[in-house]
Chain A
């Protein structure tokens, strides 16, 4: 019953009557309830998000369709102008740079920055596509926008831009890191992709750790770790499936990764990472069990029964584990 919270003054009156809260506290509650503002913050954010989405997609299609009649220079100039104007606005309005968290000046600012970055990315993309500015050094064509994105994320303190920077870092390395496309667009049957995934995951996790340790924009840590965790776990699972002659060895890698995240979850009291390690670990373990049952022991119908029993027993075990961990994390 926590979804639609509203301060209930009558309840506090009752608590006051029972002597649980002081006069001063009751007064604070009454004033807070009386002057409570109705915030349109998230509504405005959604509208701005849709606005930037529609505008950038609309302009993209417009250019694509009219490329013959408008001319490339005109298009490039237009994109550059939008990008420059947006960056100019951001630089003028932003608070002075700090390595700590700085609040965004207003809701509008965040989305102008988004527009600035998106247009900059299209600008470099367009340059490469049309004029082949970077020649065959495709890496450079993704490297430059990546640097600009990282710089903007840190300079303007923006999590969304940081997420874009991280996905473009992965793209530069050769994999897709966009949440819903991570499985569709990466060919995890390709060993280069798998090892790139492992490397990107480790690098992102290290970046997260450093961010926290050095206390440089420490609130960026979750974003680095989140992307790093998923790609690392998925790549670990992929090694197990792909190099199946050595699947037990690769399972050890997965187990070690799980253990690492277990320590991390304990240290940071993170229920989220606990859930991730449980589920990814469960998938990896199940693969090992299925292989043992059907490839190594070559069982048939009895194997199905054993598999069912394994899944039921393992799930029950995992439930007890999660319940126990929930208790421990809550206490600390």
Chain B
């Protein structure tokens, strides 16, 4: 079922454990060498930057192959013949993918990542060229393709895509049904997301699914976010107006709005509480992220104070809160610490942090303009070690 050599996948996990244990000096270098040799891995998995390079170049090859195929095969043909070209490319990309994995032992090498996306995109593009496909049908096709690649190539991002495609399919197909279905929509999506979370949670503990651990973690994060979005007041209200043409004026309350207000504020608190109680980093981070969503949702409908005062005082509260927490955790309490835990990617993370800060805060524009701007918003950066 899995395209990759499963013995090697198992050994890879052993190697990773050895690597980390050796990095914190729990085992000696010799022990690591001996055990690594015993649990050898034959995959071709290059460094992350080489992986990015191989990904980009594979996409370039595919794009220009598409150009070349179109130039040679098409002469004034319509959309139908372009569909054929796309299917040919999809077939070629999938064939290349299987060969790369089977013969060349590529595993998360950038090439296999790119070929997965190219195959999927060409199939969906080709089907849409054949005729009018409804959005719901597109979601269903995406779901099937993502599920296939998830199962066969254990690709974590395909897990996210599958969850989103399933929810989109439900939303788009139920959306055309009667009024009751529309009213029940938030709860249907909510329940599906909850079920998805528990399925992923349970399966991730099963030995048989051990290779899907990362994919399940991504799916859990997606499910937790979708649980929130499906019943967030702002999301429900705006979706009802835009998708289902619910007639609401600017200041009208959503029917049964209090239920959604309750969820909007309650869910992040539950996530954070659970994250702290169980020391689940996924819950904690998603919860913290959603605190921002609470603030935006409330401010969107009830602007109690001007933006700039809200920003300045909010900033001051965040800084003070962080300061108090750091003081409180000066000695670790209940296993929590404010100190960084040593890891071998620390320098890389610090470099990214510096880039993000330079991106957002360098407001000094070139001297010739004599124009001092404020801070700019946004951020970005690469990832991985250097």
Interface residues of A (CB under 8 A from B): 1-5, 7-8, 11-12, 15, 18, 20-22, 25, 28-29, 32, 36-62, 64-65, 106-108, 111, 114, 118, 121-122, 125-126, 128-129, 138-139, 141-142, 145, 159-160, 162-164, 166-168, 170-181, 185, 219, 222-223, 226, 270-272, 274-275, 278-279, 301, 304-305, 307-309, 311-312, 315-316, 318-319, 322-323, 325-326, 329-330
Contact = CB atoms under 8 A, between A and B. Distances in A.
Contacts of A226: 351, 355
B14 interface: yes
Given A4-B217, A53-B315, A175-B366, A129 B372 contact: yes
Given A57-B374, A60-B375, A272-B49, A8 B17 contact: yes
A197 B42 CA distance: 45
Interface string B57-89: 110110111011001100000000000000000
A292 to B, nearest CB: 17
Contact of A51 (B20, B319, B375): B319
A2 B14 contact: no
Interface of A is mostly: helix
B133 interface: no
Contacts of B68: 305, 308-309, 312
Contacts of A43: 284-285, 288
Interface in B335-355: 335-341, 347, 349-351, 353-355
Contacts of A32: 24, 26
Interface stretch (B30-38, B140-148, B181-189, B225-233): B30-38
Interface stretch (B161-169, B296-304, B320-328): B320-328
Interface in B282-324: 284-285, 288, 307-319, 321-323
Interface string B226-249: 000000000000000000000000
Contact of A160 (B284, B354, B363, B377): B354
Contacts of A118: 361, 375
A18 B31 CA distance: 12
A25 to B, nearest CB: 4
Nearest to A48: B322
A143 to B, nearest CB: 8
B109 to A, nearest CB: 9
Nearest to A268: B386
A59 B309 CA distance: 8
Which of A58, A278, A325 is most buried by chain B, counting CB atoms within 10 A of its CB? A58
B364 A125 contact: yes
Contact of B64 (A15, A121, A274, A311): A311
- Give 10 closest A-B pairs by Cβ, nearest first: A55-B315, A58-B312, A58-B311, A54-B315, A51-B318, A163-B358, A125-B372, A61-B308, A51-B319, A159-B354
B358 A164 contact: yes
A192 B285 CA distance: 46
Given A4-B214, A21-B35, A145 B364 contact: yes
Contact of A25 (B31, B319, B341, B380): B31
B151 interface: no
B47 A271 contact: yes
A76 to B, nearest CB: 14
A329 B354 CA distance: 26
A315 B114 CA distance: 14
Nearest to B68: A308
Given A28-B27, A41-B339, A58-B314, A171 B323 contact: no
Given A32-B24, A167-B364, 18 more contacts: A7-B21, A12-B17, A25-B26, A29-B27, A36-B335, A40-B329, A47-B288, A49-B356, A54-B315, A57-B375, A114-B361, A121-B363, A163-B357, A178-B376, A180-B380, A271-B48, A307-B64, A311-B64
A65 B308 contact: yes
5 contacts: A40-B337, A53-B377, A126-B372, A170-B366, A318-B57
B332 interface: yes
B12 A1 contact: yes
Contacts of A270: 386
B26 A55 contact: no
A58 B315 contact: yes
B325 A44 contact: yes
B129 interface: no
Contact of A58 (B288, B309, B367): B309
Contacts of A315: 57-58, 60-61, 64
A36 B27 CA distance: 16
Given A39-B340, A319-B57, A179 B318 contact: no
A168 B21 CA distance: 42
Given A39-B339, A106-B326, A138-B368, A54 B314 contact: yes
Contacts of B366: 170-171, 173-176
Nearest to A103: B340
Contacts of B374: 56-57, 60-61, 64
Given A179-B358, A270-B386, A160 B353 contact: yes
Nearest to B288: A43
Contacts of B16: 1-2, 5
B149 to A, nearest CB: 16
B362 A178 contact: yes
Contacts of B57: 315-316, 318-319, 322
Contacts of B48: 271
A30 to B, nearest CB: 9
B46 interface: yes
Contacts of B380: 179-180
A9 to B, nearest CB: 10
Interface in B101-152: 111
B341 A39 contact: yes
A222 B337 CA distance: 29
Interface in B249-266: none
Contacts of B40: none
Contact of B351 (A138, A223, A325): A223
B36 to A, nearest CB: 10
